[in-house]
Structure formats: C-alpha cells, structure tokens
Structure 1
C-alpha cells in the first residue's frame, strides 16, 4: 500500500512523524510519500496530488490552525477543500487538525497533538487492514487526542 502524508510548516508539532511511527510499529508493507506545505489551506491540493500523481491509496492530512478567528475560518475552508478532494478522487483523506487553543498550555497542546496523530493512525490501520474491528467500535463515543466519551 502507498499512503500519502501531508503536513504544514505552520504546525508547531510534527504530527505526521508521530503517525508514521505509529503505523510503522504495526504494519510493515506500507510505502509513505510525504509532502509538506505552508499552511492548512494548502492541504487539499497537496492531498489530491498525492492521490492523482503519486498513486496514494489513502492520505493523512495534518494541520495545526492557530487560535485567532481568521485561523478558524482558514481551517474550515481547508476542511471543505479536503472533503471536495475526497469526493473528486473517491479516496479517503483523513483530516487530523489540532487547533492551538485546544491545549490548556503548551505541554498539554503537545500531548494532544501527539495523541491525536497516533490515534488517527490507529484508525487508519483499522479502517484499511482491520475493518471488522473498526465496525465493532461504531457508536462507542471514541475520541482522538482526548478521553473517549463512551456510548449512550
């Protein structure tokens, strides 16, 4: 399998490296193609290019929008673009965003970013290689980066 990894220089933590490490620790037959772009608004086209030009079967897109209102608008626009790229290519692009104001402090933000990246990587493994396990987790209120909420 060939997997695309797309991240940004704007991010304050290398979530992509954490995700790749998490996947490599569990699956050995994956080739990674990594592209880094300036910010989250660049992720949709970079992800689409990884699919169409590099032959990636799935892409993980990592971003860390800032805390300002404009950053939240840019993150929303990037998310919309990622959804459009998925629909145009019929390929999953797993969006992994951590907003800077999600952390209580810088240490908490770093822990959150690493946990979210690793847990999304685990989701990718289950989605692609262990779909029956993923189905059993439906409706369980699972969260990436923070504690699970649990089922109702």
Structure 2
C-alpha cells in the first residue's frame, strides 16, 4: 500500500486537504499522512519532511495564494521551493495552488478549490497505480479545476 503525503495551509479559505484525501480514499487504498502549515511558503519543507521522515512516495502540496502582488511573489517562492524539494528527494510533489483572483466570486472560488484539489488527487492516484492513464492523457489539454481545453488542432 502506497504512502501519500498531503500538506495544506491554514491561509486557504477552503479545506483543500480534506477534499484531496476524500478523493484519494474513494479511488485507491493508501496510507495518507496529513500535515497543515500556516501558508504556502511553509509547504516545501513540510513536503520534504513527509518524504524523508515519513516515507511518503508522493506528496500533494495544497495552498491558496492571495490576490495581492506580494501574495503572487510568495507563491512563486513557494513553487520554487517545492521544485527544489522534489529535486532534493527525487520524489514528486504535486503543487496544487488556487490563486484567490482566479475566481469571479466566492462561490466559484470554493468550486475551484474543491475541483482542483480533487482532480490533482486523481492525478496522484493515476501516477501511483495507473501510469498508463497519464500517458493516454498526454497532449489532451487537461485542466484541473476548470473545463479542459482539449488538444490543439492543426
């Protein structure tokens, strides 16, 4: 049984970790270890610790950067840290960010946070147990949270 790490933040305005865990549990048997940190800049070290100290085979890092320019800079720094943690551990850390200004209103924001968390959780399931499904989806314009855009046409 694989061990999956899920790390989310208190800054997010929706319980993204709960949605991701629910989706994973509906689709595969796995040991899930969850951690919650204050904000997105805390995600890289929490994910790295889940890999190195808890033996997670893959980690989901979920967060909601705010809409201000400072928040966008913090999100970029967090993303860079997540990439560095992946390279340091040779382990996938699936970054699941929903920027507060991606949605037109609060209802759409909640929808997007739930959908993106769940759809990336399904990506984790596929990566661990059905990698051939990921290969079949290559180049198909998949989008997590919003409608898929489909492949480009010539």
Q: Which interval holds the TM-score relative to the shorter structure? A: over 0.9
Distance 2:21 2:61 in 1: 12
Shift of 1:112: 0.5
Distance 1:110 1:123 in 2: 20
Structure 1 stretches lacking a partner, 5+ long: none
1:47 match: 47
Runs of 4+ with >2 A deviation: none
Matches within 5 A, 1:1-150: 1-28=2-29, 30-150=30-150
For each residue in 1:76-135, what CA deviation from the matched residue of structure 2 results, as whole angstroms up to 9, or x when unmatched?
Answer: 000000000000000000000000001110000000000000000111111111111110
User: How high is the TM-score relative to the length of structure 2?
Assistant: 0.97
Structure 2 stretches lacking a partner, 5+ long: none
User: How high is the TM-score relative to the length of structure 1?
Assistant: 0.98
How many correspondences in the alignment? 151
1:151 match: 151
Distance 2:74 2:147 in 1: 27
